[in-house]
A and B are shown apart, each in its own frame.
Chain A
């Protein structure tokens, strides 16, 4: 099976940079994704790493190292609206085509 570990909570101040780590144990997967979920809302897609390295999308960047079974989401120039839960997820090979396994989520609290 798949297993993803991420910190339960991270706090930061506006304008700062924060990194949310995700370590995983999986027999094989297509790539690592990140989703954002505001309280009571739908998870929304942020980023995907199919290959090792850094992917940048505006203020958000994501990194994957398959050799280290490790990835992270980097949020820069934090804003209050970034306060939300962030989930890493993998779509593993061999199971259903669109089955995602999620970490338990990291709650990011951004303070003024």
Chain B
């Protein structure tokens, strides 16, 4: 069974630009969450989606948005990029039902210059 796939793996953008990151969860998983990881702050929750609905949102500005498609694939978008948005963005998928384990993708390393 294929794991969680995130594309692209690496991205360099300039301040003010926008970026879209993609996440394909494990087949059959309908729940997807996004996290931002930085050296100083650890893993911080961004969004959670289930069946195309956003169920929860973390404490991030409105420049961060996301969505989920009917095939459970998810995208997140960051507009008007700032230097502080440089981070590893991780996607995690969960199987349906009460479960204890999150399956993470390799992440997208975003560098804003």
Contacts and interface: CB of A to CB of B under 8 A. Distances in A.
Interface of A: 30-31, 33, 35, 41-45, 48, 50, 87, 89, 91, 95-105
Q: Please list the 10 inter-chain residue pairs (A to B) with the smallest Cβ-Cβ separation, ordered nearest first.
A: A96-B56, A104-B42, A96-B48, A48-B100, A96-B55, A42-B104, A102-B43, A98-B94, A45-B101, A98-B31
Contacts of A35: 102, 104
A82 B49 CA distance: 32
Instruction: Identify whether the interface residues of B are mostly helix, strand, loop, or mixed.
Output: strand
A95 to B, nearest CB: 5
Contacts, number: 70
Interface of B: 4, 31, 33, 35, 41-45, 48, 50, 55-56, 90, 92, 94, 98, 100-107
Nearest to A85: B42
A97 B104 contact: no
